[in-house]
Amino acid sequence: MSRIRITGGAWRSRLIQVADAPGLRPTPDRVRETLFNWLGQDLSGLSCLDLFAGSGILGFEAASRGADYVALVERAKAPFEALKTHAQTFSDPRVELFCCDALKFAPPSGRRFDVLFLDPPYGQGWLDRVVSRLDQLVTPQARLYAEAEQPLQGLGSWSVVRQGRAGQVFFHLLERA
C-alpha cells in the first residue's frame, strides 16, 4: 500500500492510504495543485462528485477546500473499504460514500453537482459511456475535470478550456460548449 497527501485546505498534509487495486492511479500532487488553481482554492458553496473515486483523493481535496457536499462513488470493494476508513477518520458529514457502478449512480434527493471529477480506469471507454449521464448529474454552470490516457478535444457537449500533461496522464478542465 502506498500513501498520498492532501495538498491544500483544512486537511492539508493529511495522508491517505491507497488500496492495492488493478488500474488504481491516484492523481499526482502536482496535477491536483494545478486542478485546484484552475477551480479556485475555496470551493465553499459547491457540490462535488468524484464519480470514479478510487483513492478518493480528489473528493477529499474538494472537502478539505470547503466544498459544501462531496459524493464519492466507487464500485470496487477494496478501494471502497479504504474510502470508508478515511471518511471515518475525517468524520465530516459533508462527505458521502456510494458503493456502486458509476453508470448506475443516482444522486440522493435529485442533487446536481457543480464540479464533477472523472478519473476512470484507462482503456475501458468509461468517459464515452458516461457522457449520456452528464446532464442528469450536473448543474447548468458545472465544470468537469477529466483524466485520460490521451488528450481530449471535448466530451459530448463539453469543451476543454484548460489542459495539461504529467507523465502518462492527460488532464482537462471542461465547460459546457
pLDDT at 26 over 80: no
CATH architecture of the domain covering 2-176: 3-Layer(aba) Sandwich (3.40)
Average pLDDT over every residue of 149-160: 95
What is the pLDDT at residue 29? 83
At residue 17 the predicted structure's pLDDT band, cuts being 50, 70 and 90, is confident
d(CA 66, CA 50): 15
Query: For the chain, which residues make up each domain, given as ranges?
Result: 2-176
The b/e string for 79-89 (b: 16+ C-beta within 10 A; e otherwise) is bbebbeebbee
Nearest C-alpha neighbor of 122 from the set 37, 23, 48: 23
Q: Write the pLDDT tens digit of every residue in 52-70.
A: 999 999 999 999 999 999 9
Q: For residues 74 and 82, is the Cβ–Cβ distance under 8 A?
A: no
pLDDT at 102 over 90: yes
pLDDT at 3 over 90: no
At residue 1 the predicted structure's pLDDT band, cuts being 50, 70 and 90, is low
Position 126, amino acid: W
| Residue 121, phi-psi category: left (phi > 0), alpha (psi -120 to 50), beta (remainder) | beta
